[in-house]
Amino acid sequence: MVVEREKANGLKKINISARAKGDLIMMGIGGFSPLNGFMTKANWKSVCESLTLTDGTFWPVPITLDVSKADADGIKGGDEVALAHDGVIFATMKVDEKHEMTETDKRWECEKIFKGKGEESVTDKFWEADHPGVKMVMAQQEVNLAGPVKVLSEGEYPSQYKGIYLTPAEVRVMFEERGWKEVAALQLRNPMHRSHEYLAKIAIEVCDGILIHSLIGNLKPGDIPADVRVEAIDCLVENYFIKDHVIQAGYPLDMRYAGPREALLHATFRQNYGVSKLIIGRDHAGVGDFYTLFEAQEIFDTIPISDDPGKNLLCKPLKIDWTFYCKKCDGMASLRTCPHGKEDRVILSGTKLRKALSEGVAIPDHFGREEVLVILRKYYEGLTEKVEVKMQTFATGDTMK
């Protein structure tokens, strides 16, 4: 490692995005196994079209490295470069391939990866004005570099999120120490409201334990930052869970907001953490109205299956219906268990919670635990600049029967 760092200092430095930094770290810690580098054009095309690498291994979203033409100038196959973000060298890379990404290529990727069955996907061809994932891809630089990497840094995560940022190996050891064999993961990019709590407790009932696994990379404007979410989850676990059945952890990726495809990615890398089931509820990893209510559940039923079990997705979805608090049931329920009308239900969503907190309006009874809301209100009261939160149709409950 020391030798590689010294070598990196003498290589041509390529500036990379925050998203690429997170992808690199996941490769370095084994979270993106079997990937050992950024994808070639052939693998990019295969993943977009078929949800597999060219060798048939399941993989749902492209992991590519975009660089400027100026940075790519003079680089040829076989060259080694250093990959840096904000002045920090994160990895060295042996360049196997350099290829241009045209506007047509980017639009094609967006159609394959981000397009859903929801109203906004159907009516707006490329959604560049509103979809954060599409905007991210369309803003990528002109050239992709592909090749294996040697990761040299995990960035700020081990120190800034000590005890929360855990590698797959560390999480697997914790599962083994506790004797957990069947483990569910709850994917989070929001603080836990009552629906999240309910989903987690359903999973604990049917599995040995749950990994509450939060994204601690970058989010879109208006989302609640990782340190606030971690504090809120800590508070909830402390007061409302039996700790022997819960592990809270974080992982260093940026959100891609790819809805169903991102649900598959969440399951794919959770497999490397030793997780056997991923909770998939309403509009998993969605944004706006680009995806339908359970599109992220349905996609698991359509993925390719190889004759080689080692190439398949082994982490299975734990599909749970739309959940809410029902006043007549006097508790949490779902569309599968509650016979009452939507006028009796408190519709719970992270978007609805962020909007209410941002605008300083009252939070409905039974929406969240008061101890958690205290933490979130304090955060919003300290903001000097607020971002308008766009409500999803699902979050309003208007489409609920």
Same structural domain, 317 and 212: yes
Same structural domain, 144 and 243: no
Q: What pLDDT does residue 336 have? A: 94
pLDDT digits over 74-132, tens only?
Answer: 999 999 999 999 999 999 999 999 999 999 999 999 999 999 999 999 987 788 889 99
Q: Which of 155, 182, 198 corresponds to the end of one domain?
A: 155
Residue 295 belongs to a domain: yes
In 232-386, the DSSP E strands lie at 246-251, 277-280, 316-319, 323-326, 331-334, 345-347
The two structure tokens encoding residue 110: 């967006």
- Catalytic residue of the set 189, 270, 345, 354: 189
Same structural domain, 284 and 367: yes
Same structural domain, 147 and 207: no
Q: Which of 155, 188, 218 corresponds to the end of one domain?
A: 155
Tell me which amino acid residue 165 is.
Y
Q: What pLDDT does residue 305 have? A: 96
Model-level pTM greater than 0.85?
A: yes
**Rounded Cα gap, residues 168 and 128, in angstroms:** 35
**Rounded Cα gap, residues 183 and 172, in angstroms:** 10
Residue 276 belongs to a domain: yes
- Catalytic residue of the set 190, 229, 261, 354: 190
Map residue 37 onto helix, strand or coil. Answer: strand
pLDDT digits over 174-204, tens only?
Answer: 999 999 999 999 999 888 889 999 999 999 9
The tokens 């039923």 sit on which residue? 301
Residue 184 belongs to a domain: yes
**Rounded Cα gap, residues 24 and 16, in angstroms:** 10
Domain housing 270? 162-401
**Rounded Cα gap, residues 239 and 29, in angstroms:** 32
The reply to whether 5 belongs to the active site is no
Q: Which of 128, 155, 182 corresponds to the end of one domain?
A: 155
Name, in order, each residue with C-beta under 8 angstroms of 29's C-beta and a sequence gap of 6 or more.
151, 154, 167, 168, 169
Q: Which of 383, 324, 366, 326 is nearest to 349 (CA)?
A: 324
Same structural domain, 193 and 60: no
Residue 107 belongs to a domain: no
CATH code, domain carrying 286: 3.40.50.620
Strand order in the sheet with 331-334: 331-334, 323-326, 345-347
Instruction: Report the number of distinct structural domains present in the chain.
Output: 2
Residue 352 belongs to a domain: yes
Torsion angle in degrees (nearest 10) through CA of 18, 19, 23, 26: 70
Same structural domain, 148 and 212: no
Same structural domain, 310 and 202: yes
CATH code, domain carrying 33: 3.10.400.10
The reply to whether 190 belongs to the active site is yes
The DSSP element (H or E) to which 67 belongs, if any, is: strand 65-67
Residue 334 belongs to a domain: yes
**Rounded Cα gap, residues 99 and 143, in angstroms:** 6
Same structural domain, 146 and 172: no
> Which ranges of the chain have pLDDT less than 50?
none
CB 268, CB 313: distance < 8 Å = yes
**Rounded Cα gap, residues 281 and 124, in angstroms:** 25
Same structural domain, 237 and 377: yes
Same structural domain, 195 and 146: no
Q: What pLDDT does residue 400 have? A: 58
Residue 108 belongs to a domain: no
Same structural domain, 89 and 179: no
Same structural domain, 180 and 70: no
Map residue 156 onto helix, strand or coil. Answer: coil
The two structure tokens encoding residue 264: 């598959």
Residue 117 belongs to a domain: no
